[in-house]
Chain A
Amino acid sequence: MSLIVNTTINGKTVSASADGSTSLLEFLRDTLEMKGSKLCCNTGECGACTVIYNGKPINSCVTMAADANGAEIITIEGLASGDKLHPVQQAFIDTGAVQCGYCTPGYIMSVKALLDRTTKPTVEDIEEAVSGNICRCTGYNKIVDAIQLAADRISGRA
């Protein structure tokens, strides 16, 4: 282990060692035992590992753990408060936007980042926000429904 990563994850400061070649995803899953962010393609193409890094959605599988130093990271584990789910999580459940569920944490992080930017996303905004997330079950229509429902709820329109 060649470096120490001091970072903030879901509002809590964390300090742990890593190698230069350790990805942020490996750091989260293997070092910190936070298994919510999913390992899938490991090449930055499928979005299952999406986390929010200083306010922006990124693929944690192709980000160095070293770059988490001094950064603020939000993962799927940081969204619910106690038993109360985040509106994006609740909307995915209410619209049935989950099939096998493996892509869901990544989608939810991309959507949270989108709705942090705007609560009135256009269809283009939605498509851009999730174009880096693949649902292998191809349940895309319900995912778009979930995003719209979450946006409506967050902005008080539903």
Chain B
Amino acid sequence: MEYFEPRSVGDALAILAKHGAEAKVIAGGTDVMVDIKYKEEPGGLVNIKRIPGLGGIQENGGGLRIGALTTIRDLETSALVRSKLPVLWESAHQFASLQIRNTATIGGNICRASPSGETLTPLLVLEAKGKLAFITGEKIEPFTAFFHGPGKSSVGSNGLLTEIEVPYPVAGSRGVYLKHAVRGAMDIAMVGVAVLITPDASKNGLQDVRIGLGAVAPIPLRASKTESLLRGKPLTAALLKEAAATAASESSPISDQRASAEYRRWIVEALTRRGLEQTWKAATGKEVV
């Protein structure tokens, strides 16, 4: 197996242009190393961890720029992430073990393009974008367009995700990330739901609602029908029930060793209801009636 350790994005792209079809990009390695041991060894490994400038969390105007090599633990221990992007922080906090959080990178979690990737639904509801580098040039792409299927994303086999841009939510917004798993944070999510709401100025209605569903479709997705059902309305008990059922119908889960499709749909319904209730209460100070 060939091993490459590029020292610049340009070098990495040149290597990928030549070997991208058989070589795999590796950063933290917490997924790729498991594939090597239990599935098959790729023809080559391109270790991007020694490329300078791909880490770090910086405030940039109305948001954060997060380097692709930033570890999940760096996100979790960042005061900026915790205070400005609590939804993303919650997903980092519920991300596997401390050992894994110390190693796994946000860029790896994104490019793995697993529907259950912990940080993905928070990034979707925050309307974050990825900076993608190709040999032909750079491209900024919203994550709502980035995922194409399990393991498939816009980086393809010869691009690199270098940076994540996350705009701050509008003042007064409240978000939550809810994960359902048997072994707490250690487990891969059976279902993950991220909810971000913005109340209107009078705090009587929902000016904006964003709902991300994880592990219940081939890609992490936004529940757009549920969002349009809710937008502009006060969150009543009847609407909450309808919204939760709509979110469940927007999911298309599979049955696997972790849960059946039917069970996953129930959980989508329960977590959507819980997420909307919690954020509504936090944003408006009102109960859902």
Partners in one complex: yes
Q: Which of B38-86 contact A (CB under 8 A)?
A: 38, 41, 44-45, 47, 49, 73
Partner among A20, A45, A59, A129 whose Cβ is within 8 Å of the Cβ of B103? A59
Question: A53: which B residues are within 8 A, CB to CB?
Answer: 102
Inter-chain contact B33/A63, CB cutoff 8 Å: yes
Question: Does B5 touch A at the CB level, under 8 Å?
Answer: yes
Question: Does B1 touch A at the CB level, under 8 Å?
Answer: yes
CA separation between A47 and B2, bound complex, in Å?
Answer: 29
Inter-chain contact B96/A64, CB cutoff 8 Å: no
Inter-chain contact B98/A21, CB cutoff 8 Å: no
Inter-chain contact A20/B44, CB cutoff 8 Å: yes
Question: B3: which A residues are within 8 A, CB to CB?
Answer: 2-3, 19-20, 66
Inter-chain contact B102/A62, CB cutoff 8 Å: no
Q: Which of B36, B73, B103 has the most CB of A within 10 A?
A: B103
SS of A interface (majority): mixed
Inter-chain contact A23/B33, CB cutoff 8 Å: yes
Inter-chain contact B26/A110, CB cutoff 8 Å: no
Q: Which of A23-46 contact B (CB under 8 A)?
A: 23, 42-45
Inter-chain contact A62/B1, CB cutoff 8 Å: no
Inter-chain contact A59/B100, CB cutoff 8 Å: yes
Question: Does A94 touch B at the CB level, under 8 Å?
Answer: no
Interface residues on A, range: 20 to 34
Inter-chain contact A21/B1, CB cutoff 8 Å: yes
- Known: A21-B36, A21-B45. Contact between A62 and B97, CB under 8 A? no
Inter-chain contact A44/B100, CB cutoff 8 Å: yes
Question: Does B29 touch A at the CB level, under 8 Å?
Answer: yes
Inter-chain contact A2/B33, CB cutoff 8 Å: no
CA separation between A21 and B41, bound complex, in Å?
Answer: 8
Inter-chain contact B47/A43, CB cutoff 8 Å: no
CA separation between A152 and B44, bound complex, in Å?
Answer: 48
- Known: A47-B99, A58-B102. Contact between A67 and B1, CB under 8 A? no
Question: A121: which B residues are within 8 A, CB to CB?
Answer: none
Question: Does B170 touch A at the CB level, under 8 Å?
Answer: no
Inter-chain contact A131/B33, CB cutoff 8 Å: no
CA separation between A57 and B29, bound complex, in Å?
Answer: 15
- Closest Cβ neighbor of B97 among chain A residues: A132
Inter-chain contact B45/A62, CB cutoff 8 Å: no
Inter-chain contact B29/A64, CB cutoff 8 Å: yes
Question: Does B30 touch A at the CB level, under 8 Å?
Answer: yes
Question: Does B185 touch A at the CB level, under 8 Å?
Answer: yes
CA separation between A61 and B186, bound complex, in Å?
Answer: 16
Inter-chain contact A57/B102, CB cutoff 8 Å: yes
- Known: A20-B44, A20-B47. Contact between A56 and B102, CB under 8 A? yes
CA separation between A63 and B26, bound complex, in Å?
Answer: 10
Query: Would you list 12 pairs from A and B whose C-beta atoms are within 8 A, ordered by A residue?
Result: A3-B3, A20-B3, A20-B47, A43-B38, A44-B30, A45-B186, A59-B99, A59-B100, A62-B30, A62-B103, A128-B98, A132-B97
Q: Across chains A and B, which 4 residue pairs bring their CB atoms closest together, nearest first?
A: A132-B97, A20-B3, A62-B33, A20-B45
Which residues of A approach B to under 8 Å, CB–CB? 2-3, 19-21, 23, 42-45, 47, 50, 53, 56-59, 61-64, 66-67, 110, 128-129, 131-133
Task: Using A44-B100, A45-B97 as known contacts, list a sample of 13 further A-B pairs with CB atoms less than 8 Å apart, ordered by residue number in A.
Answer: A20-B1, A20-B3, A20-B44, A20-B47, A21-B45, A45-B186, A58-B99, A58-B103, A63-B103, A64-B47, A128-B98, A129-B98, A131-B185
Which residues of B approach A to under 8 Å, CB–CB? 1-3, 5, 26, 29-30, 33-34, 36-38, 41, 44-45, 47, 49, 73, 96-100, 102-103, 184-186
